Amino acid sequence: MTHKIGSTPAILCILSVLAVACGAGCFSADRPPEEPAPAPTFHQHTEGYDDRVVFSVIPYSDTRGTYVVDYEILRNGTTVEARTDAVFDSISQDTPIVFEVPRSPDDRISIEIEVRNTDGDVLHTSTTVVGPARQVPAGDGTPLAPAPGAAGG
């Protein structure tokens, strides 16, 4: 017996196959789970003053996130503060992780830091040192001469 495409048994057969496929999820409207957004990268900004040093660790993201931080701050080689697994909430480009450290002009201040997401993935590590503040002489007003062999010299 030959089945024509327009015949009832052929239509019932096609509908049966579609019903089984839909029941198995082959034509499901559900989308696969989306990959989580990539973790932001960070950069550090440091400001040194006579009376303090400000270390800012800033994510390249406007989305607020929670981060776990290990850090050690030293003044002249002596630890002044150290923490492991410190949790910082609501951190973004506008609200970075900030450490403000008092100092005298002759102090050498350093920070070693590691930033992780809440899954434990390391997102940023750095060591930054700010040396003693010092005046740079203004000079005697004599213009600099070009190096020998340089253009114009």
pLDDT in tens, 32-57: 666 666 789 999 999 999 899 999 99
Write down the pTM of the prediction.
0.65
Q: What is the rounded distance in angstroms from the CA atom of residue 28 to the CA atom of residue 34?
A: 16
Residue 2 — pLDDT band, cuts 50, 70, 90? very low
Q: Which domains does the chain have, with CATH numbers?
A: 46-130 (2.60.40)
What are the Cα distances from residue 66, in Å, to 17, 72, 92, 117?
49, 20, 9, 7
Q: Is the pLDDT of residue 124 over 80?
A: yes
Report the 10 Å Cβ neighbour count for 40: 20
Residue 5 — pLDDT band, cuts 50, 70, 90? very low
